[in-house]
């Protein structure tokens, strides 16, 4: 069962509007519908939602005067990112700060930070919580959570993940590889492709952007970053069967 709407492969022009501008026909790009972001309070916990689906729960105020103030600041940043004009898929990534906290970014835009107090309050650890929150955010960004995305291709196979020795090396796209970015390598898919990867063994899902070529072992179909592997629960086994859906990118 697909998690996103399947796009008809034989009809490449579906969803494209023809506009007449000064007598010239111009094809308008398909635009991704934006989910409605909102903030609600549940017994002192401030929950950020995308079309009613939970993205993250703020239980610690950090440097703000209150949890509500921090949650509103995060909500504003998310709204700005979701409303921004993106010509190509941005890279979602996590950065470890000198303080030990983890900060989440979309492209060059900082979204939020995860502190030790957040991890304790959410019964998690710092990195796992940052991965959970940011993966939920990007799934909403690409319309996966709302089921509004379109799937161009589906395939299955073995997934592995990059060794940390590849950190800071240039990828085929020109980006610098980071274990903490939600990226992947594939042998033939266009660079910049967005993939929804599912682990059928536990039902966990993650969204990644293809920014490199590989894997070079013929029995594997995709190489994932460390955070993507952790999101799927395959970082300990190293290799596992996955289902991959190629999501059609819609200009924002």
Q: What is the spatial distance between Cα 191 and Cα 211, in angstroms, rounded to a whole number?
A: 5
Dihedral sign for Cα 200, 202, 207, 213, please: negative
Which residues, other chains included, contact 235 with Cβ-Cβ below 8 Å and sequence gap of 6+?
A: 161, 226, 229
Report the chain's mean pLDDT, rounded to a whole number: 88
Together in a domain, 159 and 238: yes
**Considering the domain boundaries, does residue 62 fall inside one?**
yes
**Considering the domain boundaries, does residue 238 fall inside one?**
yes
**Considering the domain boundaries, does residue 12 fall inside one?**
no
Q: For position 164, what pLDDT does the model report?
A: 79
Range(s) of the domain holding residue 233? 150-247
**Considering the domain boundaries, does residue 178 fall inside one?**
yes
State which of 118, 141, 164 marks the end of a domain. Answer: 141
C-alpha dihedral over 149, 155, 158, 162, to 10 degrees? -40
DSSP character for 125?
A: -
Q: For position 172, what pLDDT does the model report?
A: 94
Residue range 176-196: average pLDDT? 96
C-alpha dihedral over 156, 162, 163, 164, to 10 degrees? -150
The β-bridge relationship of strands 17-21 and 150-161 is: unpaired
Together in a domain, 102 and 158: no
pLDDT tens-place string over residues 128-150: 999 999 999 999 999 998 888 99
Together in a domain, 155 and 133: no
Give one word for 27, left, alpha or beta, with left for phi > 0 and alpha for psi -120 to 50.
beta
**Considering the domain boundaries, does residue 28 fall inside one?**
no
DSSP character for 142?
A: T
State which of 116, 141, 166 marks the end of a domain. Answer: 141
**Considering the domain boundaries, does residue 10 fall inside one?**
no
Helices (runs of H) and strands (runs of E) counted in the chain = 4, 15
Phi, psi (deg, nearest 5) at residue 134: -70, -35
State which of 141, 164, 188 marks the end of a domain. Answer: 141
Confidence of residue 13 (pLDDT cuts 50, 70, 90): very low
pLDDT tens-place string over residues 21-65: 444 444 444 556 689 999 999 999 999 999 999 999 999 999 999
Residue range 7-29: average pLDDT? 43
| Whole-prediction pTM | 0.87
**Considering the domain boundaries, does residue 26 fall inside one?**
no
Together in a domain, 225 and 157: yes
Together in a domain, 137 and 42: yes
Other Cβ atoms within 10 Å of 202 Cβ, number: 11
Together in a domain, 124 and 160: no
Together in a domain, 104 and 165: no
Together in a domain, 178 and 229: yes
DSSP character for 84?
A: S
The CATH number of whichever domain residue 222 belongs to comes to 2.40.40.10
Together in a domain, 163 and 117: no
How many structural domains does the chain have?
A: 2
Q: Are 139 and 205 within 8 A, CB to CB? A: yes
**Considering the domain boundaries, does residue 7 fall inside one?**
no
* Gyration radius (Cα) of the chain, Å: 19
Q: 161 vs 35, 108, 125, CA distance in Å?
A: 31, 24, 21
Percent residues over pLDDT 70 in the chain = 87
Together in a domain, 120 and 165: no
Dihedral sign for Cα 95, 101, 198, 245, please: negative
Together in a domain, 95 and 155: no
Q: For position 145, what pLDDT does the model report?
A: 85
Together in a domain, 71 and 162: no
């Amino acid at each position: 069962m697909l998690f996103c709407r399947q796009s008809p492969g034989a009809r490449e022009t579906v969803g494209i509007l023809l506009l007449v501008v000064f007598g010239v026909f111009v094809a308008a790009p398909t635009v991704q519908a934006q989910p409605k972001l909102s903030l609600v309070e549940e017994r002192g916990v401030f929950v950020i939602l995308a079309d009613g689906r939970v993205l993250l729960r703020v239980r610690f105020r950090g440097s703000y005067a209150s949890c509500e103030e921090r949650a509103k600041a995060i909500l504003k940043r998310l709204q700005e990112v979701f409303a921004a004009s993106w010509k190509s898929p941005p890279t979602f990534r996590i950065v470890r700060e000198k303080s030990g906290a983890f900060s989440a970014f979309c492209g060059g835009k900082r979204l939020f930070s995860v502190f030790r107090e957040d991890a304790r309050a959410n019964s998690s650890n710092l990195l796992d919580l940052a991965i959970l929150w940011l993966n939920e955010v990007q799934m909403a960004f690409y319309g996966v959570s709302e089921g509004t995305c379109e799937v161009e291709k589906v395939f299955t196979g073995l997934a592995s993940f990059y060794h940390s020795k590849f950190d800071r090396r240039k990828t085929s796209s020109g980006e610098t590889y980071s274990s903490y970015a939600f990226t992947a390598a594939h042998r033939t898919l266009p660079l910049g492709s967005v993939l929804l990867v599912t682990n059928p063994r536990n039902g966990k899902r993650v969204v990644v952007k293809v920014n490199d070529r590989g894997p070079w072992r013929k029995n594997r179909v995709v190489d994932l970053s460390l955070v993507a592997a952790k999101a799927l629960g395959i970082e300990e086994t190293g290799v596992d069967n996955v289902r991959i859906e190629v999501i059609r990118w819609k200009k924002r």
